[in-house]
Amino acid sequence: MSKRDLKKYLADLNKEQLEKQIIELYEKFSPVKVYYDFAFNPKEDKLLQESKVKISHEYFPVKKPNAKWRPKAKMRRSVAQKIIKHFISLGVDSFIIADLMLYNIEIAQTFSYNNFIKQELFYKSMFNSFEQALNFVISNGILNEFKTRIIAIQQQTIQQKWKNKYDFEIILDKIDL
C-alpha cells in the first residue's frame, strides 16, 4: 500500500473507526506504543541519562551483588548505535542526539585511557562514530555548540596515541575547525 492509498483509506474512516484502529496498533505493535508513550510524555532528560548508563556499562560493567567476579567490558559500538537510531526515530531533539553520539566516543576514550586495546576494529569503529557525529552536528547546524567537545575528542586520540589519530585530524581539517 502506498502512502497515497493509505491517506485515501484513512480519509474514508470516521473518527470512531480511526480511534479504534490507532488503539489497536498501540496494543498490537510495541514500536507504536513506544512512539506514543514518548510523544505524550517525552522525558528526554531521563531517556538520555538511562541511555548514557547503558553505554557506559559497555565499557565499565557493574558487578552484580553476590557475584564473585566482575564482568569484562564488551565495548560494543552497536549498543550506542541502536540507542542513537532509536532516538532519531522518536524525533528526540538534535542536541540530545549529538550529546549522546559524542558521549559514546568520550566514554570509549575514558576506557582506552587506562586499558590497552589491541583490536584495530575498536579504533576504526570509534572513528566511524566520530565521523557520523560530525556529519550529524553539521547537518543539524549545531557544530558551534559541540566544537569544544569535538576538538577534545580529537586531541585525546593524539594524547592516547591511537593508531588512527591522523584520520581524526584529517577530518577536522576538512571542515576547518
24 and 46 in a single domain? The answer is no
Short-list 126, 160, 148, 124, CA closest to 55:
126
**Contact between 43 and 59 (Cβ < 8 Å):** no
92 with 135, same domain: the answer is: yes
Same domain, 56 and 26: no
Same domain, 117 and 166: yes
> Which pTM does this prediction carry?
0.81
Write the CA distances from 166 to 121, 136, 155, 157, 173, integer angstroms: 16, 21, 11, 9, 10
* Structural domain total, the chain: 2
* Predicted pLDDT at 104: 97
Please check whether residues 57 and 122 belong to one and the same domain.
yes
10-residue averages of pLDDT along the chain (177 residues): 88 90 90 82 87 94 77 90 93 95 97 92 96 97 96 96 94 83
Q: Clarify whether residues 9 and 86 are in a common domain.
A: no
Same domain, 20 and 101: no
Residues 87 and 124 in one domain: yes
Rounded CA separation 92/38 (Å): 9
Q: Using one digit for the tens of pLDDT, what is the confidence trace for 100-119?
A: 999 999 999 999 999 989 99
**Nearest partner of 87 among 149, 129, 45, judged by Cα:** 45
Parent domain of 37: 1-41
Q: Let me know whether 114 and 50 are in one domain.
A: yes
Longest dimension (CA), the chain: 64
Asked if residue 70 and residue 12 are part of one domain, the reply reads no
